Every structure is written in C-alpha cells, then in structure tokens.
Amino acid sequence: MEEIQRSDGYTAPPPYAQLRIKAVQSLLVEKGIIDPDSFNEVVDIYENRIGPRDGAAVIARAWSDPEFKAKLLDDGTATLADLGMTGFEGAHVIFVENTNEVHNVVVCTLCSCYPWAVLGLPPAWYKAPQYRARVVFEPRVVLGEFGTTLPDDIEIRVWDSTAEIRYIVIPQRPSGTGGFTVEQLTELVSRDAMIGTKLATPPKGAAA
C-alpha cells in the first residue's frame, strides 16, 4: 500500500477509500473467494500488457497509415471493434488529433469514465477531484504541472468523457522518426500522451 510522506517527516495513513479497498481485498482472500496471485495478475495485465500498449500500437499505426488514421477519426468505435478492442459498455470512442494549432486533453468531470479496453487502468490522478475540476478551467496551468509547456498560440481543447462517449488523443508524431517501424513508434506513445497531459516521447538523441 502506498505511503504518503508528510511535511513533518512522519508517514500519514493512506486515504480512507484506499483502506476500505485493502480491507475488502484482504477479506475476499481470507475467505478464499479470490486468489491474491490471480488478482495481481489481472492488475498487471490491464496496467502494463493490455493497456496502454494496445492503445500505443493503435496510435503508431495511425502515424504510419493515413488511411487508418482517417478511419479512427471518422469512426473510432467501429475501427477499434475491427481490431477486437471492445468492452466499452456501449460507449462511443472518439479520437481527437493534436496538431501545430490544437492540443487536446481528456477529462471526466463527473466520475472517471475512461477507455480502459484501449488504455488499460486509469491513473490515480485522472480520478482525482483536483484534476477533474482544474483542467477544465486552467488547462494550460495543469499541463505545465505535468511538464507539458505549450506555446501561447496553441489552442487547448478539453474533452469531457461520459458514460456514452470516451475520448482518446492522437498525439503529434515526434520529428526524426521518418524511418521508424510501427513497433519502434509504439515505444514513443505513453498512456499520458493519449490522455493529452503529455507529448509523445521524442526518439533518443533528438533535440528537446
């Protein structure tokens, strides 16, 4: 369980919700309802294997194949379904593309609706009330806190996901990747870039 370090040097207890989740998990394990190794395996699959790598591969293909990218932008839900990426509980998936003029960022202000079938489990900060409230009103400031500083002339568009609609960002392809394979491009796409709080990772040796 993650510990929180206080300014006075002492370790603060975890949040109440986190304690409740841990207690329920421990009880289920104790009663033999779930196997702890299986539980950890499922978490690892959705955090590291199914997502966000599946999403990164989709973005890398879009960078390499203009026709495929056009299909994503036209009908993301159907295009993902053709790839076997389902599990959105009836939600539509809309892809939005970053350009030299526009930068997109995604939030869910009401709860934490998220395209988990493509991006895996949502990060803790995506579900935090602070992010959900602030990114709508001061997106440039929030992006700066993620280390993403954009020129003043770039428009920032904030997309609010719902139970019916989920958004995924197609980040800009980094320069210096003209000869990269889809597999190499996949390594440059992070979960946060597909949410919009980060840019795609430039290749090693590229100018910052």
| DSSP-derived pairing of the beta strands 92-97 and 4-5 | unpaired
Return the closest-CA partner of residue 103 out of 193, 18, 26, 15. 193
C-alpha dihedral over 137, 138, 139, 142, to 10 degrees? -130
Catalytic status, residue 161: no
Are residues 120 and 48 in contact, defined by beta-carbon separation less than 8 angstroms? yes
Q: How far is CA 175 from CA 26, 30, 45, 205, in A?
A: 48, 53, 31, 11
Catalytic status, residue 7: no
Phi, psi of 78 (to 5 degrees): -70, -40
Query: Could you give the maximum distance between any two Cα atoms of the chain, in Å?
Result: 58
* Active-site hit among 7, 38, 111, 161: 111
* Active-site hit among 112, 161, 175, 190: 112
Catalytic status, residue 111: yes
* Active-site hit among 26, 113, 175, 190: 113
Catalytic status, residue 38: no
Return the active site residues: 108, 111-113
